[in-house]
Amino acid sequence: MKSVTEPVSPNAEPMSNGQGGLQQTGRVVLPNPARNATEKGARTVAPVVSNFIRQIIEADNASGKHGGKVVTRFPPEPNGFLHIGHAKSICVNFGIAKDYGGVCHLRFDDTNPVKEDVIYENSIKEMVEWLGFTYQPNLFHASDYFDTLYAFAEHFIERGLAYVDSQNAEEMRAHRGSFEKPGVNSPFRDRSVDENLTLFREMRDGKHADGAHVLRLKIDMASPNMNLRDPAIYRIRHVEHQRTGNKWCVYPLYDYTHCISDAIERITHSICTLEFEAHRPLYDWVLARLVESGKLPSPSPQQIEFARLNINYTVMSKRKLLELVETGAVNGWDDPRFWTLAGLRRRGYTPGSIRLFAERTGASKAHQWVDMADLEGALREDLDPVAARAMVVLDPIRVVIENWPEGKTEECSAPVHPKDETRGRRTFQFAREVFIEREDFMETPAKGFFRLTPGAEVRLRYGYIIKCERLEKDASGKVTTIYASYDPATKSGTPGGRNVKGAIHWVSKSDGLQAEVRLYDRLFTVENPDDQPGDYKDYLNPNSLVKVNAWCEPSLRNAEPGQSFQFERNGYFTPDRVESKRGVLVFNRAVTLKDGWKP
């Protein structure tokens, strides 16, 4: 097996075997793994998609490198809400730890005091738990290590491996060089240890303004790897920090902080996305120096990179997500059209469906574009075996059954779940006035249309066969009422009863409930909004939200957010967690029953 310490180009062959169907570039073809069913509603996914990260861990376990331990971490910056890409990282990190009997730490990378907010932190914790993972008692903050990080920085100075640079940002940039051109040493690079220590302590003590100096590692200004050209590891920021208050006015930078935090927490495998590949030599350099002086234990954690998840019809950048919220393109961070985890949850996505999707998309070095339809498919697959069924008419047209006596009702019933009789039956009334779906009626039927048409019969599911006798229309010619008759000998379930070709869902006015139902479409009209001429916001789908007034069967009276239903023939729905209050029913369509989406 290839060792990950060898440089691997982002386009290298995926190390996964063919099981995941991973292609070298382009779209990923998802496998169809077998699944485990455990307790209701909380099914877990069998780790059938072998990937190169698992191979590394198994090799380490075999060689006893970390004593058989697996400790991973998910390190979000608390500066935004999590999206489906983060969910992928959460599932990889927590999932792998779980599969190997290890633990995964949740560590907030709170090194940047101006940008971070406790609202984000709380939301991130909530979403990790919602996805079904436990981070307690392993909740950490990079700021927990500010004292140690500072002490290590002095240690680097003492060893002649770090110096205070007093060039301004522009000079530093100019001296950094480029891919073709080596960098130029700073005129401050050869300051004495004493001078560096004095200056660094003055920086810490607030004696210098923001930007006046930075602390840099002394590595190699001519390195072909730009990350090794004397990277800055501390900068001055006279800003209060949400956790350490005004204790510090120098803050450590990410690359320096991250590897040391990993090592302090005895992380074994530090899994991150491919953009950090070129940072790995720096990660290893810092840790090797601290291990050799006995400041940190050995072996050091190993950084392993995999490709980011990208899904078509979305944008993933935090800046763009914020812009979509701020410009009102979506209604807040939890808009059900959004692929933030808060949005997906509100829409009706289940944790199981997201874990299944993450598992199927595997982890590889190959750039990954996944079809939105695969996320939708994972949801259908997760919900089909568990979602209670219900009849709901989304675009109602009134039907009056003239040979059914006024005021009479008769109970009909249907299974809560067609494949699980133990879940019992739901009941609803057959009555003189019912609603059917407008699209289940055609005045002039197209060929092969077996639903309701003038003079023809159709079965009202779980009820009787009715026949369309005549129509009532408004001034514009739109059908407002269908007058029908029913055949009393055809009640559903009658032994030896006759049948007709079409069967449609319906709701009776006598016990039906009115609800607002929100039907969603993709937020963008193009597969890759980031790659279009002009602004990505020019490609917003104006029809991404349609609200309809629906009629629902009475079993939905006490439906609650977090529950999922299959509305027969119409898709999977969940009560909206924001708008649904007692007595008002608002449902979101999470996904249609079939992948019928056409651009």
Give me the phi and psi of 530, to 5 degrees please: -70, -20
Question: Contact 54/281 with Cβ under 8 angstroms?
Answer: no
Q: Is 77 a catalytic residue?
A: yes
Q: What is the phi-psi region of residue 377: left when phi exceeds 0, alpha when psi lies from -120 to 50, beta otherwise?
A: alpha
- Sign of the torsion angle spanned by Cα atoms 171, 172, 173, 179: positive
Question: Which residues, listed in sequence order, are joined to residue 434 by a DSSP beta bridge?
Answer: 399, 508
Residue 88 C-beta: closest distance to ligand ATP, Å: 4
Cβ closer to ligand ATP: 91 or 219? 91
Residue 22 C-beta: closest distance to ligand ATP, Å: 15
Count of residues of this chain found to bind ligand ATP when the rule CB under 6 A is applied: 13
In the chain, helix, strand, coil percent, each to 5? 30, 25, 50
User: Tokens in use for 490?
Assistant: 């055809």
Q: Is 308 a catalytic residue?
A: yes
Residue with the CB atom nearest ligand ATP in the bound state: 85
Residue 80 C-beta: closest distance to ligand ATP, Å: 7
At 160, is the secondary structure helix, strand, or coil?
coil
Asked if residue 528 binds ligand ATP (CB under 6 A), the reply is no
Asked if residue 166 binds ligand ATP (CB under 6 A), the reply is no
User: Tokens in use for 357?
Assistant: 């999707």
Q: Is 35 a catalytic residue?
A: no
Residues from 256 through 285 that contact ligand ATP (CB under 6 A): 272-273
Neighbour-count burial for 108-133, b at 16+ CB within 10 Å, e otherwise: bbbbbbeebeeebbebbbebbebbbb
Catalytic position from the list 308, 423, 467, 509: 308
Which residue stretch of 70-78, 179-187, 216-224, 526-534 sits at the interface with ligand ATP (rule: CB under 6 A)? 70-78
Question: Contact 548/516 with Cβ under 8 angstroms?
Answer: yes
Cβ closer to ligand ATP: 107 or 389? 107
At 545, is the secondary structure helix, strand, or coil?
strand
Cβ closer to ligand ATP: 157 or 342? 342
- What stretch of H or E contains 288? helix 280-292
Position among 69, 77, 242, 461 found at the interface with ligand ATP (CB under 6 A): 77
Question: Contact 28/362 with Cβ under 8 angstroms?
Answer: yes
Integer Cα distance of 218 and 198 in angstroms = 17
Asked if residue 185 binds ligand ATP (CB under 6 A), the reply is no
Position among 31, 33, 85, 177 found at the interface with ligand ATP (CB under 6 A): 85
Asked if residue 316 binds ligand ATP (CB under 6 A), the reply is yes
Asked if residue 318 binds ligand ATP (CB under 6 A), the reply is yes
Asked if residue 207 binds ligand ATP (CB under 6 A), the reply is no
Which residue stretch of 73-81, 135-143, 215-223, 287-295 sits at the interface with ligand ATP (rule: CB under 6 A)? 73-81
Position among 201, 295, 308, 491 found at the interface with ligand ATP (CB under 6 A): 308
Residues forming the active site: 77, 308, 318
Q: Tell me which residues touch ligand ATP (CB under 6 A).
A: 75-77, 85-86, 88-89, 272-273, 308-309, 316, 318
